Amino acid sequence: MERKQGIKPNDLYELKTVADPQLSPNGEELVYIETHIDKETDDYISNLFYMHLDEKKPLQWTFSQGKTSSPVWSPDGNQIAFVSSRDGQSQIYIISKHGGEARQVTFSKNGATNPVWSPCGKKLAFSTKIGQDETIHDRPDKEKKEKSMKPLIVDKMKYKSDSGGFLDVELITQIAVVDLEQNEVEQLTNKTYHCHLEAWSPDGKYISYIADVAEDTDFSFVNDVFLLELETKQSQNLTAGRGSFSQTSWSPNSRYLAYVGSEREYENATQAKLWLYDVEKETKVCLTEALDAPVGDFIVGDFLQGVVSPRVQWLNDSQSFYFQITDHGNTLIYFGNVSGEMYPALNDDEHVYGFSLNPRNDTALACISSPADPGDLYYVHLQTGKKERLTTVNKEFLATRELSCPEMMEFEGKDGWKVQGWIMKPVHFQEGKKYPTILEIHGGPHAMYGNTYFHEFQTLAEEGYVVIYVNPRGSHGYGQEFVNAVRGDYGGGDYEDLMAAIDFSLRSFEYIDQERLGVTGGSYGGFMTNWIVGHTDRFKAAVTQRSICNWISFYGVSDIGYYFTEWQILSDLEDIEKLWKHSPLKYVKHVKTPLLILHSEQDYRCPIEQGEQLFIALKKNGKETRFIRFPESNHELSRSGKTDFRIKRLEYIRDWFEKYLSPTKSPIQG
């Protein structure tokens, strides 16, 4: 019998993602988004799919060559509104469940997103950007005109973003509503600041939205929750500048508004909490104060597309609800109620990356991934934990592949803290042999490796590597003290946690070849890779990706540099010595490990000058290195960049480790 091969880099073209499930109001039907990559165009293609729970047969409803997103059922369950870029710009469409073509209902000049139905089903609220000299009635220019080159005039510190490039400060996000019967559009907000649409109250009285009203947004990191009273057009600020909040969700009786966020006691290391506003009593309370875990999904991966973070979802009693929690390598679904009762409802070793609740009977649709399963859609009973698989989008392909299943490990890090991690054996593992091993380090730093599919890990396991990945201090999922511990200590306790992972693994797993260790990571993981090779020579090869090497220059060139540096290093340009102390560039003379540098040309989060500095310093000091630059790519290259570049990136990593660790050439006998 011919043995199966493992996952190869170009298998990205074969794999599909299911995401953003939406259960119909009657609880009997569902829609979701399926995404694949077109081999010929190299584009990400996403479309709307439908299923009846009795028949369980997926039906494709849209056939666009663009991106489809944000499906939402009308209150009567007869129509679905969604966003499509089929004509080159995002606009909102409506399709009937009884058949027929989708109908475009917005024609906004700068596009429209985020459809929200009115309770009566006759109107749709949406988000759109409006310029200073534009109106809600302006339509897109049908003739595409080439933009003329002109100087960029910058007055604000927040003038660029990694995802959006250079920002058009004249465009302001506003909330509008379209009357579907009269085909008339009305602008609901006309502010000088961005208003981000959230949810329409079931009684029809209010629309919730998020905004930062500060005059100087360069130094403001507030997102307040507002209620817009539709009759008077007056807005009420519920959170009064106390923190950063979003994801509002109304109880069915419109009395309670749930929302997620924090008062930023530890800046961006603060765990997100669940809050509740009582409209009747005009009071608010934090419901998860005693729960030392962040609300939401903080698992990092490199495969899933189109994932949307689900809001709190209410049962019909207007007292109880379900929500996401990130905890110890898993993203779970929790039950809660307005009295503060909380407990896990779906609590397996897995990544629940989306769900849609049936408010009548505690059942839900759930998108679930695990290390050996890229993800599918399930029907789950939240009180019993019973699951029924509804989709098998990758079954045929995965039947031809062998995947490595990781083993969880826990060890003692610095100061006696418990650190969680996983170890993956090579595909086609043989007892008695020793294998080269790669330590993987996640970005963030406030993210979490967990029980989800990771394409890069599987490709390395196929090439004959052991893969180790852990959550050092600074990671989410292990309590507020743990996630905050990295701030002001980059390269300290986090470095010791990672070295403890290697020490523990060498003691525990005889198949690791201690003479053939490699290390890699991206963003914060790239910083740590740079730091590690400047402080130890135990690794024989390293790959640093989209990394930081110099906190002094990072302060001024990153889209988040001037505040992220202060939050994380607890220093600024008034203390150059501290910034330099935590900069891997300072220790470049100590590097003995061959280092491959991967960086994107349009990375505004960790700008490419960081890779340039590191490369030049290494070459100047006679170190073994190579610098690879990816054009027209940003910080998200490994997750959602050009597919051919994502594949080349994996091949560059594979070839660099092959050169110095030779996994497939001579696995040695133990």
Pairing of strands 373-381, 407-412: unpaired
523 included as an active-site residue: yes
Pairing of strands 512-522, 433-441: parallel
- Please choose, from the candidates 407, 357, 344, 396, the residue with its C-alpha nearest in 3D space to the C-alpha of residue 374: 396
> Do 323 and 293 form a contact (C-beta atoms < 8 A)?
no
> Do 222 and 214 form a contact (C-beta atoms < 8 A)?
yes
Pairing of strands 418-424, 91-96: unpaired
Tell me, what DSSP letter sits at residue 619? H
Is residue 148 exposed (0-12), middle (13-18) or buried (19+ Cβ within 10 Å)?
A: exposed
Q: Using CA atoms, how far apart are residues 113 and 121, in angstroms rounded to an integer?
A: 18
Kindly name the residue from 84, 235, 523, 553 that is annotated as catalytic. 523
Q: Using CA atoms, how far apart are residues 346 and 385, in angstroms rounded to an integer?
A: 6
Tokens of 1: 């019998």
> Do 269 and 246 form a contact (C-beta atoms < 8 A)?
no
Q: Using CA atoms, how far apart are residues 561 and 38, in angstroms rounded to an integer?
A: 36
Q: Kind and range of the H or E element at 180? A: none
Query: 3-class SS at 612?
Result: helix
Helices 643-661, 455-462: axis angle to 10 degrees equals 40
DSSP 356-417: EEETTTTEEEEEEEETTEEEEEEEEETTT--EEE---TTHHHHTTB--PPPEEEEEE-GGG-
The alpha carbons of the chain give a radius of gyration, in whole angstroms, of 25
Q: Using CA atoms, how far apart are residues 364 and 346, in angstroms rounded to an integer?
A: 11
Tell me, what amino acid is at 355? F
Locate the DSSP E strands across 240-282: 244-250, 256-262, 273-278
Q: Using CA atoms, how far apart are residues 174 and 123, in angstroms rounded to an integer?
A: 17
- The answer for residues whose C-beta is within 8 angstroms of residue 206's C-beta and 6 or more apart is 200, 227, 228, 229, 230, 254
Query: 3-class SS at 647?
Result: helix
- Please choose, from the candidates 405, 523, 427, 456, the residue with its C-alpha nearest in 3D space to the C-alpha of residue 657: 456
Active site residues: 523, 635
